[in-house]
Chains A and B, each alone.
Chain A
Amino acid sequence: MSSTGIALRQVSFEQRSFWRNPASAFFAFLFPIIFLVVFATLFKGQKVQIGSVQTSYDDYYIPALVAFGVMGACFTNIAITLSLRRDNGILKRLRGTPLPPWAFIAGVVGSSIIVSIVLALLTTVFGILVYGVHVPQHVDAAAVTIGVGALAFCALGMAMTIVIPNAEAAPAIVNGVFLPIVFISGTFFPVASTSVLAQIAEWFPVRHFINAMFTAFDPAHQSSSGFNGTDLLIMAAWGAGAVVLSVLRFRWEPRKG
């Protein structure tokens, strides 16, 4: 079979595993939707200040939540799923077949990207229809941002498994790292860029992802292209670092004793 064929089979296997698993479907998929409804309802009609622009809360929140959904579908989902599969020997067994490692990874990443796209579309359409947010100004920039973000956070999810000792610890470690950064990065409510929290968040990729998404959605027509080069580059750099770490240290077998 061709390389593309092998990779596509893996994607389809991962998709079936994802949607049939109530836990992954709930946390990666329904969670962002629930957040959407809760926060959008809570802060309905409020105005927020993003740099020099004033927009409605929902116009800020929807692109931020698109980024949040992508991060959940890629980072959280991959880190937890692969830790579990490593622990119960599924990865080790797979390593003993002729399936090339790159094809396995392609399946995992491809499937996460599909979930990301579905989530992004749903979130955006929901935002437009129910909460009256503006239609994204720069669809091309939004697509590129989602692509870069998804790839970077998939790589970060893989790299995260390196420090996860076993499957039981996985959810606690992953969320313990992810959620605080998500909060200080202003996912649920904007954090002024002059604040200490924002200064800390600047070091991590989450805030840059949200920024880049907001620039692409561009509700106040601030940007000519919708591309935020600096934010995209910083995310890509994090992703590249994670790829290097994963290539060097990713484990297919459970840690002994």
Chain B
Amino acid sequence: MTAIVVDGLCKSYGAVEAVRGVSFHVEEGEVFGLLGPNGAGKTTTIEILEGYRTRDGGDVTVLGVDPHTGGRKLRERVGLVLQEAAVPPMLSVTELVELYRGYYPSPRPAAEIIELVGLTEKAGERVRKLSGGQQRRLDVALGLVGDPELIFLDEPTTGFDPSARRAAWEVVRNMRTLGKTIVLTTHYMDEAQYLADRICVIAAGQVVAQGTPETLRAGTDQVTHIRFELRDGLAVATLPLKARIDGGVAIIETATPTRTLNELTTWALAQGLELPNLEVARPSLEDVYLELTKNE
């Protein structure tokens, strides 16, 4: 089953065309990452799917219905965590989770949800006494408490320190294990790579690439880098191939790494040279991402 279908979505704010013909679909049970730099149109897209914003054009279906008219029935099946939202400060963690449980027809137990986001030790604490990261995790808990089929997370880890990010990633992984469909936005490549089954890269309101982390990487015409250190009598002038020097390291860029490497090593053997710290590196997904969004 397909959980979300987006076809030719458009949205402008006055003269700003925030989303310009975005299309993608999300399958049930997968983690789908909307990846893009700030201002790419991620929040606009996700908030149209959540029913907060109207669209100017295109077709959108969420769990089989139009999110703009889905109403309460749809909201019972969807959990969400907004990019910017506070949690009411005066209640305790447990009180707030209990309050939100009351909004849904078949919620999960409060203690289980609090445990899932790692706030068990803070369960009795007033919300205003929690750190920013803890409040954000509580926000995630509120998105999960209704046991939704579909979860939207808009930049769930922005502003987290590395250990809090790791913890949040584990929460998302746990939700995936529960069979939830998850749509998350992020501007961190590594986050999308670690969490998402499929990634949709958007920049300036348009989809620039789409696929699994693997196919994204394979799909680019990026060159392979061959590197080694320039020492032990190696000088750039003597090399048989064109190389660029970066901090004492020679970098040869090639679209045909097998042939280039052969030329290089044949030459080195003939000279009786060892190439120190020889490395052949495929472009990382990070490189791919930077390449895709570099016009922004």
Contact = CB atoms under 8 A, between A and B. Distances in A.
Q: Does chain A bind chain B?
A: yes
Interface of A: 1, 6, 9, 13, 16-17, 20-21, 85, 88-90, 92-93, 95-100, 253
B86 A17 contact: no
A99 B82 CA distance: 17
A16 B102 contact: no
Contact of A1 (B50, B84, B87, B102): B102
A85 B87 CA distance: 9
A93 B72 contact: no
Contact of A100 (B72, B89, B104): B72
Interface string B103-137: 11100000000000000000000100000000000
Contacts of A16: 90-91, 95
Contacts of B78: 96
Given A6-B102, A99-B103, A90 B85 contact: yes
B75 A88 contact: no
Given A89-B84, A92-B85, A97 B146 contact: yes
A12 B89 CA distance: 15
Interface centre among B72, B86, B100 (most CB of A within 10 A): B86
Nearest to A89: B85
A17 B126 CA distance: 11
Interface string B70-86: 00100110101010111
A155 B139 CA distance: 30
B99 interface: yes
A88 B132 CA distance: 13
A99 B145 CA distance: 13
Contacts of B104: 97-98
B142 interface: yes
A138 to B, nearest CB: 38
A99 B103 CA distance: 5
A80 B52 CA distance: 24
A184 to B, nearest CB: 35
A90 B100 CA distance: 12
B96 to A, nearest CB: 9
A201 B20 CA distance: 54
B90 A97 contact: no
Which A-B residue pairs are the 4 nearest by beta carbons? A89-B85, A88-B86, A20-B90, A93-B85
Contacts of A85: 88
Nearest to B104: A98
A243 B1 CA distance: 44
Given A17-B91, A93-B82, A93-B142, A9 B99 contact: yes
A98 B103 contact: yes
A89 B95 CA distance: 19
A256 to B, nearest CB: 8
Contacts of A90: 85-88
29 contacts: A6-B102, A9-B99, A13-B88, A13-B91, A16-B91, A16-B95, A17-B90, A21-B89, A88-B86, A89-B84, A89-B85, A89-B86, A90-B85, A90-B86, A92-B52, A93-B80, A93-B87, A93-B139, A93-B142, A95-B52, A96-B50, A96-B51, A96-B52, A96-B80, A97-B104, A98-B72, A98-B76, A98-B103, A99-B103
A16 B80 CA distance: 25
A21 B99 contact: no
B79 to A, nearest CB: 9
A90 B72 CA distance: 18
B75 A97 contact: yes
Given A96-B51, A96-B52, A97-B75, 8 more contacts: A13-B91, A13-B99, A16-B91, A21-B90, A92-B52, A93-B82, A95-B52, A96-B75
